[in-house]
Amino acid sequence: MKKKTFYITTPIYYPSGNLHIGHLLTTTLAWMYANYKRQRGYDVVFSTGIDEHGQKIQQKALANNMTPQAYVDMQAEKFVDLWKKLDIDYQVFSRTTNKNHEETVKLVFEKMLEKGFIYSGSYEGLYSISDEEFMTKSQAILKDGEYFHPVSGQKLELIKEESYFFKMSMFNDWIKQYFLNHPNFITNKATQKELLNNFIDKGLEDLSVTRITFDWGIKIDKKDNDKQHVIYVWLDALFSYLSGIGYLSKDQQQYEKYWANGDERVHMLAKEISRFHAIYWPIFLHSLDLNLPTKEVVHSWIITPEGKMSKSKGNVVEPLPLIEKYGAEPVKYFFSSQINIDNDFSFSEDLLINVLNADLANNFGNLLNRTVKMINQSFDNGTIFVENNLLDIDKHLLAEITTTYEFYCEQMDNYHADLAYHKAIEFSKHMNEYIDKNEPWKLKDNLERLNVVLNTLLQGIYAVNYMLSPVMPKTTAKVFNFLCQENLSESKLFDFKKFDNKHVDVKEILFARIKK
């Protein structure tokens, strides 16, 4: 039977500064959902990368006394190193300086020009170099006679130059109708409403898609006053998600499989770049008669007690110290399990410690350790499943495997990993309560009953561990090894004979309590 395909992408990140936990969050979520879909039997490709062109990069390189290419090469290594330290593997790492990407974008520009969607003109307006974004005066914030970006707070510059424009206004009604016909296209309803109210309902303006005032970008064979046009960074960047899998290249097999004929095409992003990815990108794709993403998963911000992270506030949280202090998988579990993508999340290190201690050390880790210890104290050859010996309390716990897993899958499919993992940890809590009710330490003279209790616990532990495996694959692999389980599959959740006569043993403490 042919596997369904699942192609998931993060934004290609702008490498102009240091990496922060926002990068960690988006990439962790996309990677974790890729693992989940793979576990469910999908043929999966996960793509990430960096967006290397633009005026801001050129200025950063100059400030560092480097060429732009040398600067982005250095920054690319930082991203690769972070994902390596996080144990995040990917199938595609897109760079907009790659030759195949540049050729794809040039062809895209020519196609749009041939179709009459691009025309030459002159642009005069406000521009944020930091955000690589054009703004109208109505969108900007006016303060003391100067205009500032409404999100980043960066000062806007008034620019005037010759440019090529994409007829964005031509597609205003189409994108509005698409939003109305596909209410679940964007997961975050507040973001969708904001895009409609602030941009689409006010009327989209034609978008400048080339610049001539700098030269670090994809150059096209168009000149004004002997200055060569460079493709605007967002038109450039937004086609990396297709060029990374071979669109318009000599070998389009991956593109055909995962995009043109793919089942699920999912893009993960933070809400501040939703205008580009949820309005401009779909319109660009539609103009070329290409498939759109099937889903855009828009998550909110990580904030701190001081508010949104910014250098000026000194509250930017860097990911590497967290990984070095607490470990890659616990950190990934924390962000995946705690962040509701629809709401801003207030981060603190105290909260991270509290969650890891409560969920992993005190709850699941304690459950695993005490269960295995009790088995080894009374059963040299492990436990066996005897259905006829089950009491109602045992049947109820085994039935909870099904209800928990069904809820878990439903939430994961809706991109609410926080609810999915809360349910798994809640089930682990119920198993600890099951131990307290059955008091197995008092059953040493009733081995038949003790066998049932401990075997039932193993079934539940397997289920929780299986549900945690997309976000903690290395740790959960060790647990499965301790439990003598191989050839893991969804069907084994309900194969209650899988522990018969298996000698289980916890060889190391995997979920140690963290001291503050």
Same domain, residue pair 484 and 414: yes
What does the pLDDT look like over 463-487, one tens digit per residue? 999 999 999 999 999 999 999 999 8
Q: Which residues contact 390 (CB under 8 A, 6 or more apart)?
A: 398, 452, 456
Pairing of strands 133-135, 146-148: unpaired
Burial 141-168 (b: 16+ CB within 10 A, else e): eeeeeebbbeeeeeebeebebbbbbbbb
What does the pLDDT look like over 207-228, one tens digit per residue? 999 988 888 999 987 666 657 8
CA distance 265 to 498: 36
Residue 334 lies in a domain: no
Type and span of the H or E element at 104: helix 99-114
Predicted confidence at residue 356, as pLDDT, reads 99
Tell me phi and psi for residue 463, to 5 degrees. Answer: -65, -45
Evaluate if residue 306 carries a pLDDT over 90. Answer: no
| Cross-strand pairs, 345 | 302
Same domain, residue pair 239 and 104: yes
Same domain, residue pair 266 and 377: no
Q: DSSP secondary structure string, 325-355? A: HH-HHHHHHHHHHH--TTS-EE--HHHHHHH
Same domain, residue pair 46 and 195: no
Residue 224 lies in a domain: yes
Same domain, residue pair 214 and 294: no
* Cα radius of gyration rounded to whole Å, the chain: 26
Residue 223 lies in a domain: yes
Residue 259 lies in a domain: yes
Residue 501 lies in a domain: no
Same domain, residue pair 247 and 274: yes
Cα–Cα nearest to 252, from 444, 103, 458: 103
Same domain, residue pair 381 and 436: yes
Predicted confidence at residue 30, as pLDDT, reads 99
Same domain, residue pair 283 and 422: no
Same domain, residue pair 378 and 302: no
Q: What is the CATH number of the domain that holds 188?
A: 2.170.220.10
Residue 344 lies in a domain: no
Q: Which stretches within 121-203 are classed as H helix?
A: 172-181, 189-195
Q: What is the CATH number of the domain that holds 284?
A: 3.40.50.620
Same domain, residue pair 370 and 252: no
Residue 506 lies in a domain: no
Evaluate if residue 429 carries a pLDDT over 90. Answer: yes
Could you tell me the residue range of the domain that residue 219 belongs to?
117-171+181-228
pLDDT average, residue stretch 446-470:
98
User: Rounded to two decimals, what is the model's pTM?
Assistant: 0.93
Same domain, residue pair 385 and 453: yes
Same domain, residue pair 240 and 95: yes
Structural domain count of the chain: 3
Any idea which of 53-67, 279-293, 349-363 has the lowest mean pLDDT?
53-67
Joined together, the tokens standing for residue 115 give: 């179709």
pLDDT average, residue stretch 269-276:
95
pLDDT average, residue stretch 171-177:
99
Q: How many CB atoms lie within 10 A of CB 84?
A: 11
Q: What is the CATH number of the domain that holds 426?
A: 1.10.730.10
Any idea which of 134-138, 164-168, 386-390, 397-401 has the lowest mean pLDDT?
134-138
Query: What is the pLDDT confidence band of residue 137, given thresholds at 50, 70 and 90?
Result: confident
Name the residue type at position 371. Answer: T
